[in-house]
Amino acid sequence: MAHLTNPLATPSQLYALTTLNSPLPIDLQHSIRFYTARLTQAAGLLLRLPQDITAQANVLLYRYWLVDPLLAWEFSDVSAATLYLTAKISASPRTLRSITNVYTYLLSLPTFPSPTTPAPTAPPDPESYYLSETAYTTYRNRLLNIEGQILNALSFTTHVSLPHPLAITYLQTLSIFSLPPAVSTRVAKRTIAHLNTALLSPQMLYLTHQPPALATAAIYLAAREEGVKLPDGEWWTVFDVEREELGFLCVGMRSLEGFVEEERRRWEGRGVLTREGVRGEMGKLGLNNEVGNGVEEDEESQMARLLDEKVGAVST
């Protein structure tokens, strides 16, 4: 059953997040995670990656930020490095050239595409997202360096089990697919939609709960929204989910709508969220924004130091 479970965030890691990202306000931390996950999703679509790879990349992205500060690297660079890493170890790898081209294009957009702010009908000037060979080499080396940082922070643990396949199995177990096709299709789509949306949750639901619980909560909400009656009694216990956990996840998933609307009002009309933009917000709040400037040592020395630390940790 190990392949169906994930390494979850520990209470000490969650407790230390505020200190790790000090003096970054909690609401800005939520914005960074949310918009960087959205950026990863947009890049995955442009790269024609399967949704499961993009979802795994977002889970790894959130895991990485349990260890390293949010402002240590540019958000788009962390997103690109994580997506490249996730695709590389999958059946659908993408070249660094493709990754850098897609992210350079997304960074060139004056406003980030969304349901309320669609992509412009006229594409931006190609010169704004053209990568020269020198620029590509610099970008590529930066992403490879960050990829090493991510692997080191994750202790090379890149396994991610998603709840989506389990949700389909659970729907079959609950006889949802024996209902009229139109009804069962709506429930299945709503279930998957809840699971995809939960990837963006500021509560980091994928880091605090196992796939069976996430799948069960998504089914519970989808069935209620579509007016489909589920078995009487505490059917969720069959999937090893407690009532309290189910309730917490349902509230967390339902609260995303209000959170997304608030984020849209705060950042609407802007392009991709950057460290410069976040530091500008911190300056408006009168907070110290000279934090998280990355590692200053050269890349070769940095990777050698990290390798020494890894070898030392293993030997002890």
Q: What is the mean pLDDT of the chain?
A: 88
pLDDT surpassing 80 at residue 173: yes
Residue labelled with tokens 């089914």: 219
pLDDT of residue 150: 97
Average pLDDT over residues 49-74: 96
Those residues whose C-beta lies under 8 Å from the C-beta of residue 63, and which sit 6 or more positions away, are 7, 9, 153, 154, 207
Higher pLDDT, 13 or 309: 13
Read off the pLDDT of residues 117-135 as tens digits, 9 standing for 90 and up.
445 555 667 777 788 999 9
Domains located in the chain, CATH noted: 24-160+270-284 (1.10.472.10), 164-254 (1.10.472)
CA gap 194, 112 in Å, rounded:
22
Q: What is the pTM of this model?
A: 0.87
CA 168 to chain centre: 22
pLDDT tops 60 at residue 70: yes
Mean pLDDT of 297-305: 48
